[in-house]
Amino acid sequence: MPRVTVVGTGYLGLTHAICLADLGHDVLAIDVDAEKIAKAASGTAPFFEPGLEPLLRKNLDAGRLRFTLSFAEVAVFGDVHFLCVGTPEGKSGRADLSAVHAAAAALAPHLSGPCLVVGKSTVPVGTARQVLAGLRTAAPAGDAVDLAWNPEFLREGFAVQDSLAPDRIVLGVTSADAEARLREVYRAPVEAGSPLLVMDLETAELVKVAANAFLATKISFINAMAEVCEQSGADVMALADALGRDARIGRRFLSPGLGYGGGCLPKDIRGFRATAADLGVDSLVSWLGTVDDINLGRRERVVELAREAAGGSLAGRRVAVLGVAFKPNSDDVRDSPSLAVCDRLAAEGAIVSVHDPVAMPTAAVKRPSLRYAPSVFEAAEHADLVLHLTEWSDYRAIDPAALAQVVASRVIIDARCCLDADAWRAANWTVHVLGRPAVS
């Protein structure tokens, strides 16, 4: 079984390192951030992901997982080196590849023998060839250094499951040896039934961004239909259920609401558009601009509804916000639709009080001016309006009658379309659900 290293211990890298160790590999992970390394080595995950921290401690205790700050140690230790660094949105929507090239440049001078470097980061098509050329130029081993691209498909909140039992494993390779090494790395999930797809580097690079572009389009499509439903008096949930019965369409990702956010979909579709422009085929993906606009427009629609519910002005109104993470089971607030709504509410003079089961500490770093409440009831105390913005299961368990006792006005906007509107109406709440007829 090959010994594995992971370069980068952010969300992707730490999850990958832990799960590879849990699959039985000896894993050495590295980062340039000494604080991150010390925290991980002590058994503490620096972010919230269900089930991840117990696996971290389990594999540290088993001796299968170690952490270092030394690239020389990494090069000596590993047969397969995974690059798992971030590619945030840069200028003009293009992916910022500085961390990818820096990681490869830091590793290359220490590669003195045959090895395989594997990129997992989401990158524009053509990046892998550039990284390979740089590695072979700088590494003492020269052409004995091989490269593959193995895009990640982690869903925040399900990352452990997606790593240990992925729904597909994509390998972009240039040699039979690279394929053989990666088949060995992923032997356990493949034998358990995970499909393994082998292709060229360029196709592997495109798979992730193409998948995210498709998912973003599906989400924005149903949100566009929600706008049509609001104007016509139709019910978007019934519409989505009917569309989802078509096997060619399917119900997954056809859920109307506040739209997508996070560190992947928004920046990946913008990066894809920039790549298409560089390739001279931008007109073929121009519709992604509309997808982006529809998604951002849902945030404005919620603020508009809030303003209407508040009688035309939000100034001085107390607004309770339920959920600030961009999705449930995560503490990630990157491009959070909820946080964007909070910004707009506060800009119009609303007094915003936020509750989230796990994401308040990360949100407070980004938006220290907001009020954060340790419970739903404290967030909603004397509220003129309640906004449900992240679909945590905790919020579906709220007793509307009990919450009614602490608010100033029984008005709720369900921007995630998943609360039991009938139960809230029975407790004498006025309920607004995006894309559905008003109930009160």
Position 358, amino acid: V
Single out the catalytic residue among 115, 264, 342, 417. Answer: 264
417 is catalytic: no
What distances in angstroms separate CA 304 from CA 341, 435, 438, one per listed residue? 10, 14, 15
Can you give the length of the chain in residues? 440
Q: SS3 of 295, please?
A: helix
- Looking at the DSSP bridge assignments, the partners of residue 64 are none
CA 40-356-426 angle, 5° bins: 150
**What sign for the dihedral angle of Cα 303, 309, 313, 318?**
negative
| Sheet strands (E) in 85-243 | 115-119, 145-149, 169-172, 196-199
Look at phi and psi of residue 126 and say left if phi exceeds 0, alpha if psi is from -120 to 50, else beta: left
Neighbouring C-beta atoms of residue 211, cutoff 10 Å: 16
Residue with tokens 């009938």: 422
- Contact at 8 Å (CB) between 165 and 194? yes
What distances in angstroms separate CA 407 from CA 380, 404, 419, one per listed residue? 6, 6, 18
Active site (catalytic) residues: 264
